[in-house]
């Protein structure tokens, strides 16, 4: 390892990595670590700055439903993403023909579309008189007098899956591609059917990229503000992120906003721990 040093004006020797890292680390401490700690500490302070659980009492009083809603949206969509993305990624791995090539290109498209655009898209597509309802009515599947109401759990989930399944497929697909064909052939020649090959060989061998993609999907859903804000807004139940925005914009109530923030940290605690553990392990 290199041990080059730089000499400062005072003649002190400072390892050069410290000079290289300092600006970025100071920026992160001021703009990330400080606000992060502040969000936790301030959630335990009342308006006069003394310790109190007032913010939590108020949060549980007003927002228990929304916290439960956020948690259930997150869990539901992570599970759906897991099922759909694993099926698609496995399918792309075992069948490689023109259709899978078109499909895998198609599923890359939503990756690059920002959430604010996805939100606007879903806002017009899923509206009571939007394209989806009109199209379903043309097919005779629904009556336009009573259109599907989708500005709720269902529509939000459609939006999340539209964006997150392609992302999970991309990561999982990369992992599946790394598995050599010889493993599949060996299992098959030992008499395993395709189902066994998938559940006993492909999925276990790709466990880490499956888990990492789902962990990222999970924490992104908890933290996404745009989509629920533009789709559900202030209706009840809504997500924690929307409540935080309302607390800040309408009431300037940073205490409750921070308590809500701490609840969103709690929801991702396990996945964050897993993510940090794997990532720090990788770089060692």
Partner 1 sequence: MKLNYRPILIKTFELVLLVLSFLIIFGPMTSLFLWSVAQKWYWPHPLPQEITFAYWKQALGIEKSLAIGAVSIVPAFLLSVGIAIVTVIISMALAIPAGYALAKYRIPFGTLVMFLFLMPNAFPQQPIFVNVLQMFTRMGLAGTVPGVILVHILLGLVFGVWITSATFRSIPPSMEEAARSVGATAPKAFFRITLPLAAPGLLASSVFVFITSLDEFTGTFFVGLPFVQTLPLTLYSSSGYNMQFASVIALILLVPSILFMFLIQRVLKAEYVGGMG
29 lies in the site for partner 1, by CB under 8 A: yes
Report the DSSP beta bridge partners of residue 14.
Answer: 6
Cβ–Cβ < 8 Å for 161, 81? yes
Report the DSSP beta bridge partners of residue 13.
Answer: 7
Q: Within 13 Å, how many C-alpha atoms sit on residue 68's CB side?
A: 8
Other CB atoms closer than 10 Å to residue 177's CB: what's the count? Answer: 12
Which helix (H) or strand (E) is 24 found in, with range? Answer: helix 16-28
Residue with tokens 């792309």: 92
Q: How far is the CB of 1 from partner 1 (least distance, A)?
A: 5
Show contacts with partner 1 in window 115-174 (CB under 8 A): 115-118, 120-125, 129-132, 134-135, 137-138, 144, 162, 167, 170-171, 174
75 lies in the site for partner 1, by CB under 8 A: no
Structure tokens belonging to residue 252:
């300037």
Nearest to partner 1 of 203, 262 (CB atom):
262
Q: Within 13 Å, how many C-alpha atoms sit on residue 49's CB side?
A: 0
Cβ–Cβ < 8 Å for 68, 263? no
Q: How far is the CB of 66 from partner 1 (least distance, A)?
A: 14
Nearest to partner 1 of 43, 202 (CB atom):
43
Other CB atoms closer than 10 Å to residue 264's CB: what's the count? Answer: 21
Q: Which residue among 23, 49, 140, 195 contacts partner 1 (CB under 8 A)?
A: 23
Pick the closest to residue 172 from 192, 137, 142, 198 (CA basis): 198
Show contacts with partner 1 in window 194-253 (CB under 8 A): 212-213, 216-217, 219-220, 222-223, 225-226, 230, 241, 244-245, 248-249
Q: Which residue among 25, 57, 68, 194 contacts partner 1 (CB under 8 A)?
A: 25
Nearest to partner 1 of 204, 233 (CB atom):
233
Q: How far is the CB of 244 from partner 1 (least distance, A)?
A: 6
Nearest to partner 1 of 182, 250 (CB atom):
250
Q: Which residue among 14, 60, 75, 111 contacts partner 1 (CB under 8 A)?
A: 111
Q: Which residue among 73, 89, 197, 257 contacts partner 1 (CB under 8 A)?
A: 257
Nearest to partner 1 of 33, 186 (CB atom):
33
Q: Which residue among 53, 83, 102, 141 contacts partner 1 (CB under 8 A)?
A: 102
Q: How far is the CB of 162 from partner 1 (least distance, A)?
A: 7
* Residue 224 dihedral angles phi and psi, to the nearest 5°: -75, 130
Other CB atoms closer than 10 Å to residue 196's CB: what's the count? Answer: 13
Q: How many residues bind partner 1 (CB under 8 A)?
A: 94
Nearest to partner 1 of 28, 79 (CB atom):
28
Q: How far is the CB of 200 from partner 1 (least distance, A)?
A: 22
- Burial status of residue 173 (CB atoms within 10 A of its CB: 0-12, 13-18, 19 or more): buried
3-state helix, strand, coil in the chain (%, to 5): 75, 5, 25
Q: Which residue among 75, 106, 141, 194 contacts partner 1 (CB under 8 A)?
A: 106
Q: What's the gap between Cα 202 and its chain centre?
A: 24
């Amino acid at each position: 390892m290199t041990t080059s040093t730089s000499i400062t004006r005072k003649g002190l020797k400072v390892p050069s990595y410290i000079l290289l890292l300092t600006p970025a680390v100071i920026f992160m401490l001021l703009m990330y670590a400080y606000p992060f700690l502040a969000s936790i500490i301030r959630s335990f302070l009342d308006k006069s700055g003394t310790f109190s659980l007032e913010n939590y009492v108020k949060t549980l009083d007003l927002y228990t439903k929304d916290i439960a809603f956020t948690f259930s949206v997150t869990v539901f969509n992570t599970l759906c993403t897991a099922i759909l993305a694993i099926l698609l990624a496995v399918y792309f791995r075992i069948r490689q023909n023109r259709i899978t090539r078109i499909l895998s290109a198609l599923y890359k498209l939503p990756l690059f579309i920002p959430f604010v655009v996805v939100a606007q898209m879903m806002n017009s597509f899923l509206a009571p008189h939007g394209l989806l309802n009109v199209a379903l009515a043309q097919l005779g599947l629904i009556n336009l007098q009573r259109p599907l109401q989708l500005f709720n759990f269902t529509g939000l989930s459609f939006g999340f899956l539209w964006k997150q399944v392609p992302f999970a497929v991309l990561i999982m697909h990369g992992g599946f591609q790394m598995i050599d064909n010889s493993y599949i052939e060996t299992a098959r020649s030992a008499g395993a059917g395709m189902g066994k090959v998938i559940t006993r060989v492909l999925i276990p061998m790709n466990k880490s990229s499956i888990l990492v993609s789902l962990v990222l999907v999970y924490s992104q859903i908890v933290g996404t503000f745009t989509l629920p804000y533009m789709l559900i807004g202030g209706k009840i139940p809504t997500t924690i992120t929307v409540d935080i925005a309302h607390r800040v914009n309408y009431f300037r109530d940073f205490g409750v906003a921070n308590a809500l923030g701490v609840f969103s940290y709690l929801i991702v605690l396990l996945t964050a721990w897993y993510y940090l553990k794997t990532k720090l392990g990788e770089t060692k």
